[in-house]
Structure 1
Amino acid sequence: MTPAAYTEHDRQIWEEELEEFVPPRVFDAHIHLFNPQHMGEGTGRTWSHADLETLQSWAQRLYPGRETHFLVLGSPAPGIDVQAHNDWAIQQVSQDPQTRMNRLVTPGCNIEDIRRDVLTHGFVGLKPYRLFSVTGDVAQCRIHEFLPHEQMELANELGLWVTMHLSRHHGCADEHNLDDLADFTTRRYPNIKWILAHCARSFTYWPIRKAIDRLRDMPNIWYDLSAVTDVRPFITLFSKENTKRLFYGSDGIDSTYFHGQYVALGRAWQALDTSRFELQFPHCEGRPILAIYEQLLSMKQAAEIAELSADDIEDIIWRNATEALEIGDPMSTRSNTT
């Protein structure tokens, strides 16, 4: 998807539905920086250019008047120059004392390079991705097949965060994923802090509903809420999880700053970018809105159903992540270690 222009319909939703819901400060715990210059020859379509200024500009457009900071995740584009991307992105991140970054890693990354980058440049965690699985099966790979045990051992030693987009058809409901997470969190790697992206990859009602009773008993598990636009996964998390373990995230800019949503179809789901279709709306004045606003609307409605308080919402959108990441006063000196 490609970021869309901000329209009067987006503005209407913000002013009438979201302005009173979103607190004065926003911490986006799932967002990407990207520079197309880091892509190799012949890699095909790439993501939109997004430096820190781009993220901040979008934040002011999406959340007018809000202070916004980020947990930037390395961008897992096949063919990317991993080291060049990480070097450039951490330089961007260093411009904001309250923004942090998880380093892009692939199974081919040298373990000492990762250690050096964490200790020297201030990365707070790792961002692996299923597209780099050593099996070549990006749909059905297990965690250790794209985040090798050697890298998990380092993350455990240094107490790093890992933002995990689970693979396998059932996402967090998959028994291999659940068994692996239980083993990693309670036995093998108790110092890793796991962020399960996209409501533990629950774009429909079913995976998180099936998995929640096991996940909520695991230590060192958090969730980012990014790119989920179905209200039902939020209802499950808001009513059955400890809301202190929930982080707001957008997956901006390409993945949610388009007009459309991630449509749930039973247990299936698909991204729907309305700019790719000649849709007509003869029965209404409204028009499609940005997917990130669809996400926030679903969060708002789920919060009402789960009877969350304004403090709970501020926790999810700001305090939980900033406290967990130990982000202090913006004028304080940023540490180069974790």
Structure 2
Amino acid sequence: MIESHDAEYFAEHLRGFVPPASFDAHAHLYRSEDALDTLPRHVEEESGDVGWAAYVRALRSWMGDRHPADGLFFTVPKPTLDRPQANRFVADQVRSRPGSRLLLLVHPEDDPQAIEATAESVPCAGLKVYHVYSGRSDSFDAPPDQFLPEWAWQLAHEHEWILMLHLVRSRALADPVNHRYVRDRCRRYPRARLILAHAARGFCGAHTVEAVATLRGLENVYFDTSGICEPHPLEAILRTFGPRRLLFGTDFSVSELRGRCVSVGDGFLWLYEHNVDWQGSQFAQPLRIGLESLLALKQACRTLRLTDSDVERIFCSNAHELLGLSRPARSVQAVYRRAKQLIPGGTQLLSKRPEMYAPDRWPAYFAEARGCEVIDLDGRRYWDLTTSGIGSCLLGYADPDVNAAVLRRVEFGSMCTLNSPDEVELAELLIALHPWADRVRFGRTGGESMAVAVRIARAHSGRDRVAFCGYHG
């Protein structure tokens, strides 16, 4: 009955959002002897193992034909784990899935050469680390360097591997120890790719919201959505990095538990079936964590007005490109060649023609722009040291204050039969800044403003001739 309700809920609220053939970038497969006591037993196979078949069966029971087609898998981080055997089990499950990969769970005291040799014999994409191997009893307060060894970074840099990091400490990414470490190591090892699990452990969403901007400019940091049941940490990541750095993850088999994580002040609390009196509510009954996480992601995508192609990136394309399972389409030059067939000169402004800089090389079109950072249609990143979009020279692209004002106006209506009172406020400000003027006339374009100025000058002076002295903007 519960399974049927979950499937019906997914079909009604989420099926139209989740694209087919998605890629799960955070999921656990494990042997019966490796299972944690807190994990659900109903997903196990008859042997007690939780392998590929159990994974598909569990997710298909409520996601139907929208269950992930492949994924990035690793075992569970149990302190007493036989890691070589646990890793081998995951490798055996993934070996027959050409579209899937595994991460080897490693301990700081592991032999790097042995790990490297193991990785070469299995479909390995990188390494998974966890705080329980920090060697301290209060491992939840461990800084990353106590459980993510330097040799792991070195191997990841050499092989372009992924490192999956679950941040700890009470404030997660908002802790300076954590975000300074991430910045330092990502810059020191630029070929390593770091995935910050659980939206940089944004279980208290305010921590990710507060600190995600400290990672801006890093080209090798990514985030997964696994286990996140509130939209605001995901929204903060999307605002800061766009849709190319976020990866869908289920956190299977945690996804099959019922409950959700909620922010509480400067911390968080997991609500499960066993620690909440659900009978005390007439309406609330716990959903699967996987459903709650998808609802949060859907709301974040809706708030940021993401397109279908953006959503497909999060659910599939980003992971495929990160893992080398597919190559990003190189489209920016093709689009410009098409533009020259449709638009005289290819662009609306002479100054924006790529031929003015580097023909067949200069990126004609942008997909994202923030501050001085520009991302072209092919996902390549640049620092803009040219004209900076002319009007954006002082503030940079997508200035937060400007964005907030524009979005507020759009939400409440950006045009009307009536006039906007903003023009009066702006006129007063302009007159205060220019004491030689006592009135303001607004124009829609530079050309229109110049025409108005010329007419006023000719009418006032009685002269017909105008001296032209250059570009008027």
Calculate the TM-score normalised by the size of structure 1: 0.88
Quickly say closer, same or farther: Cα 1:6–1:26, change in 2 above 3 A: farther
Which residue of the partner structure matches residue 213 of structure 1? 213
Larger Rg: 2
Shift of 1:200: 0.5
Which residue of the partner structure matches residue 14 of structure 2? 18
One-letter amino acid of the structure 1 residue matched with residue 250 of structure 2: S
Query: Is 1:45 paired with 2:37?
Result: yes
Which residue of the partner structure matches residue 133 of structure 1? 134
Quickly say closer, same or farther: Cα 1:282–1:157, change in 2 above 3 A: closer
Which residue of the partner structure matches residue 69 of structure 1? 70
1:115-264 matches, within 5 Å, as 115-187=116-188, 189-253=189-253, 255-264=254-263
Q: Is the 8 A contact 1:142 1:168 kept in 2?
A: yes
Give 2:5's match in structure 1, choosing from 5, 9, 13: 9
Q: Is the 8 A contact 1:128 1:164 kept in 2?
A: yes
What is the distance in 2 between the residues matched to 1:213 and 1:318?
25
Shift of 1:328: 4.7
Give the aligned CA root-mean-square deviation in angstroms. 2.0
Q: Is the 8 A contact 1:34 1:51 kept in 2?
A: yes
The number of equivalent residue pairs is 318
What is the distance in 2 between the residues matched to 1:201 and 1:282?
29
One-letter amino acid of the structure 1 residue matched with residue 225 of structure 2: L
The percent identity for this pair of structures is 28
Quickly say closer, same or farther: Cα 1:60–1:45, change in 2 above 3 A: closer
Q: Is the 8 A contact 1:245 1:320 kept in 2?
A: yes
- CA deviations 1:78-125 (Å, max 9, x no partner) are 101011111111011112111100000011211111010111223110
- CA deviations 1:235-275 (Å, max 9, x no partner) are 2122232210100001111x221121012212211211124
Q: Is the 8 A contact 2:227 2:290 kept in 1?
A: yes
Which residue of the partner structure matches residue 31 of structure 1? 27
Q: Is the 8 A contact 1:103 1:125 kept in 2?
A: yes
Shift of 1:282: 5.5
Q: Is the 8 A contact 1:38 1:84 kept in 2?
A: no
Quickly say closer, same or farther: Cα 1:220–1:263, change in 2 above 3 A: same
- CA deviations 1:276-309 (Å, max 9, x no partner) are 444226643x632111111111111121111111
What is the distance in 1 between the residues matched to 2:203 and 2:255?
13
SS, match of residue 139 in structure 1: helix
What is the distance in 1 between the residues matched to 2:100 and 2:118?
16
Quickly say closer, same or farther: Cα 1:295–1:97, change in 2 above 3 A: same
In structure 1, stretches of 5+ residues that fail to align are 330-338
SS, match of residue 23 in structure 2: strand
Calculate the TM-score normalised by the size of structure 2: 0.64
Query: Is 1:274 paired with 2:276?
Result: no
In structure 2, stretches of 5+ residues that fail to align are 42-48, 328-473
